[in-house]
Structure 1
């Protein structure tokens, strides 16, 4: 008797993009969470109703039921793990994890405590974020003062990508602009903190420039796509 197995799928919680009904979304960039070629497993996605970049980054608690509902729809469709296209959705990590019976990894920020332990005590980690003014202490998951002192945060707020993501509809990702903004931010951080030994991308769009940033900095670069691969490797 032949058996047919349903492909294991990563469920991705996607933010609103403001496209008109029936409009064809732009092709996702290479390395994007939504590009089928990024992973060696299948992905499926659900849009979180009312979750725009602006209110997710700012931290709108009223969005939590919508995140939960979208995650539950993904599990009903066969997702064996859940992630998201915005690192700031880590605010809803606990609620989403409590609402489904599959692993949940909403943000690369979940990696931060582990990455600190990969390094000697004097080394630092740079967290690169879409907006450093909204990357508050509670999102980092670090209570120890000594460990917190080893984390430096830099954002690309005010840049082209930052402005593009606030538009409705949001335009296709400008990879060159993202790379330029991220590289410039890292250069500023390394000038002030030469002890930086690892870079962690908070923003789920940044993995599209991870190869370039690794070449420029010669440092390890971690992102949400790395956490997704680890999470999916743990599932059966």
Structure 2
């Protein structure tokens, strides 16, 4: 087999690139998108200069230039697909996808059309987000959601432990307290609308609590990590061994 090097690429074997926010000290625990041990395959991270949590949730268009530069850097480093470190990055999904050659899937919200298809036309998706007030129609449109009538959205912006950890970025994470806030939010969603047949965790900080949510509501739970693993299997296919 003959391989050819790519100019500007200094490492190999990192199929998935992740664009990260410029965060204050945050405890990225296993299961978090920003913890490399979350994945059974290598990850390449790329920080986006100046892209704060506030700019992400506020969907600040001025950050796009930096986002594009960081995505191009990941592409040059040889990744096969690029995702984001915040669901609200999805506002840039369509624009960035036009300028980058590898697949782009910036937000966990891009899974909504797929989930809607597999749960049935009369069923609903419970979406737990970092900030429900800013998860607006323009963001949903940008990630390919043309009809949001089947979405039941609940935000964590008023949950004190999540707010201190994720939004105010105090540097302190009480895992049990945040887990309880997320689980209670999921239980309330399902209790309020029995038509919910799946849960989607929007925020990149929420996958560590997905199992607890599933145990509490007994529904399929989608998040950033389910999306990243799915795309990885598409861009890194494998051979099969077995028997008949």
- When the two structures are superposed, what TM-score results if normalisation uses the length of structure 1? 0.88
Q: Does 1:143 align with 2:146?
A: yes
- Preserved CA contact (<8 Å) 2:24 2:171: no
Secondary structure of the equivalent of 2:125?
Answer: strand
The offset of 1:2, in angstroms, is: 9.3
The offset of 1:53, in angstroms, is: 0.8
The offset of 1:228, in angstroms, is: 0.9
- Preserved CA contact (<8 Å) 1:109 1:139: no
Q: Does 1:232 align with 2:241?
A: no
Q: Find runs of 4+ consecutive structure 1 residues off by over 4 angstroms.
A: 1-5
- Preserved CA contact (<8 Å) 2:21 2:47: yes
Q: Distance in 1 between matches of 2:43 and 2:98?
A: 21
Q: Any idea what the Cα deviations from partners look like across 1:94-135, whole Å, max 9, x if unmatched?
A: 222222211111011111011111113221110110000000
The correspondence of residues 64-143 of structure 1 with structure 2, limited to 5 A, is 64-140=64-140, 141-143=144-146
The offset of 1:47, in angstroms, is: 1.1
Sort the Cα spacing of 1:96 and 1:177 in 2 relative to 1 into closer, same or farther, 3 A: farther
Q: Any idea what the Cα deviations from partners look like across 1:75-104, whole Å, max 9, x if unmatched?
A: 222221111110000011122222221111
Q: Any idea what the Cα deviations from partners look like across 1:23-44, whole Å, max 9, x if unmatched?
A: xx75x31111122222121101
From 7, 16, 36, the counterpart of 2:13: 7
- Preserved CA contact (<8 Å) 2:190 2:217: no
- Preserved CA contact (<8 Å) 2:126 2:198: yes
From 16, 23, 32, the counterpart of 1:17: 23
Secondary structure of the equivalent of 2:121?
Answer: coil
- When the two structures are superposed, what TM-score results if normalisation uses the length of structure 2? 0.85
Q: Distance in 2 between matches of 1:232 and 1:11?
A: 10
Q: Any idea what the Cα deviations from partners look like across 1:132-151, whole Å, max 9, x if unmatched?
A: 0000012223324xxx2211
How many residues matched?
A: 226
Residue ranges of structure 2 left out of the alignment (5+ in a row)? 5-10, 237-244
Residue ranges of structure 1 left out of the alignment (5+ in a row)? 20-24
- Preserved CA contact (<8 Å) 1:64 1:95: no
Secondary structure of the equivalent of 2:36?
Answer: coil
Q: Distance in 2 between matches of 1:173 and 1:67?
A: 27
- Preserved CA contact (<8 Å) 1:90 1:106: yes
After superposition, the CA RMSD in angstroms is: 2.1
The offset of 1:68, in angstroms, is: 0.7
The offset of 1:3, in angstroms, is: 7.1
The offset of 1:60, in angstroms, is: 0.3
